[in-house]
A and B are shown apart, each in its own frame.
Chain A
Amino acid sequence: MLDKEIQNVFTEILNIGEHMLRAGGEVYRVEDTISRLICAYGGKKPHVFAIPSNIIVTATFEGNEITHTRRVPSAEINFEILDRMNDLARRVCHEKPNAGELKQMVENALTLKKYGHAGKMFIYALVSFSFAMFFGGSFADAAVSAVIGVLLYPATQMINSQRSVQGNIIFIDILCAAISAFFACLAVRVGIAHDADKIIIGNVMLLIPGVELVNGMRDFIAGDIQAGMMHVFEALFLAICIAIGAAGVLTLMGVIL
């Protein structure tokens, strides 16, 4: 039987891996980090397998095999957490703190300053504005896109607070694309803006699964075909959802006709 200390350290190592994976880390990085941590604590033969939704780890400690599985919930991209976990793992490999300290270190890394509601709204506006203009919209189009971007933040928050659809990114994407298309058409009808498409594209960039697409491609490069397929397929599927939301409303509003 393994002692409690090693069990606890093992759990914390998996926690680090899980946080990295959720924050937007690549699969090969997560597998590599977990293997290194296990070796640092004297584990032998670490076998780590990760895909975006699951981590399986087996290692031998003092002649005893130990296996943990972890179901990883859908991603919540936060590069600051990814960076901190990466740093933490590097430090832990040198210092080898005991289980209690390690737990404290992981918790410390997770308590970080996040952007508040006002900050988030500003970010939504900034992303919408810059991409509406980048894709060839006029200043008025970009400004309208920014205003709609501000509206989209409370919309996503409201959907997230509903228990029945909590964290359902498909629902959020369809609805946000629809809201964006609706207000863009309205703005063009009223005569504030000229090109509804450019406004919508600015907002769509907020929803587009860029991390999934790029990380999926990089998974393929690293040889993790399974993880790559999951990422790329998720990106494609979400892109279709966004298009359904936007194009559906556009059709209804009669802009297409």
Chain B
Amino acid sequence: MKEWVLPIVMASLGSLAFSMFFGVRSKKLIYSAIGGAINWGVYLVFMEIGVMEPLAYAIGAAAGTLYAEIVARIAKTPVTVFIITSVIPMVPGGSLYYTMLGLMQGNHEVFAEKGAYTLAAAGAMALGIFTATMLFRTTLALINGAKRIRH
């Protein structure tokens, strides 16, 4: 449990810092920080119960996106603001760096391994965002449709 605290806090702080980086002020900063924590927390939970890593990545990104879609409607802010700041800990910056380092070193084993990991992570992240957006919007449309029929 204890080893989870630091990554989640740092993911949250990173999301907060990034939304400041993109000029966000006011209480929206706190929404972003919570988004980062949810994103990485869900990822860690699914890693713990033994899900494959890319799938855990996708589920984490989906959780972050779902949260962003809800918060965007509460804060009346374009959803992209919260999706990007929530999902930023998932952007495979670390493995991308090692991939390129491997290439420059001429270490093709590292390049291939880290490169495949980076691609899988970025793809899984995209898949998670995609699925969550589609599910959320479809559900919302269905609910709105049901309301219209009742009235």
A interface with B by C-beta (< 8 Å): 24-26, 29, 77-83, 86-87, 113-115, 123-124, 126-127, 129-131, 133-135, 197, 200-201, 204-206, 208, 210-211, 213-215, 217-218, 220-221, 239-240, 242-244, 246-248, 250-251, 256
Contacts and interface: CB of A to CB of B under 8 A. Distances in A.
Contact of A86 (B6, B78, B130): B78
B47 to A, nearest CB: 15
A213 B91 contact: yes
B97 A200 contact: yes
Interface string B87-107: 111010110111111011100
A247 B149 CA distance: 61
Contact of B80 (A127, A135, A201, A215): A215
Contacts of A240: 100
Nearest to B130: A221
A157 B103 CA distance: 31
B129 A214 contact: yes
Interface string B61-100: 0000000000000001110110110011101011011111
A233 to B, nearest CB: 13
B126 A217 contact: yes
9 contacts: A79-B78, A83-B77, A83-B81, A126-B16, A129-B13, A131-B14, A133-B6, A205-B14, A208-B96
Contact of A127 (B6, B14, B94): B14
B93 A247 contact: no
Interface residues of B, number: 46
Given A82-B78, A201-B93, A127 B21 contact: yes
Contacts of B20: 115, 123, 126
Question: Of residues A29, A133, A205, which shows the largest number of chain B Cβ atoms within 10 Å of its Cβ?
Answer: A205
B18 A127 contact: yes
A243 B101 CA distance: 7
Given A123-B20, A131-B93, A211 B84 contact: yes
A133 B78 contact: no
Contacts of A213: 91, 122
A83 B28 CA distance: 11
A79 B10 contact: no
A79 B28 CA distance: 10
B122 A130 contact: no
Contacts of A25: 78, 80
A197 B129 contact: no
A114 B20 CA distance: 10
A251 to B, nearest CB: 6
Contact of A214 (B24, B83, B93): B83
A197 B97 contact: yes
Q: Which of A78, A83, A126 has the most CB of B within 10 A?
A: A83
A210 B84 CA distance: 7
Contacts of A29: 78, 80
Given A79-B19, A86-B77, A256-B105, 9 more contacts: A79-B23, A87-B76, A124-B21, A131-B93, A134-B11, A200-B97, A213-B91, A214-B84, A256-B101
A201 B97 contact: yes
A77 B23 contact: yes
A78 B23 contact: yes
A205 B91 CA distance: 9
A208 B18 CA distance: 11
B31 to A, nearest CB: 12
Contacts of A210: 18, 84, 88, 91
A172 to B, nearest CB: 14
Contacts of B16: 126
Contact of A134 (B10, B28, B78, B99): B10
Given A114-B23, A134-B10, A215 B104 contact: no
Nearest to B88: A210
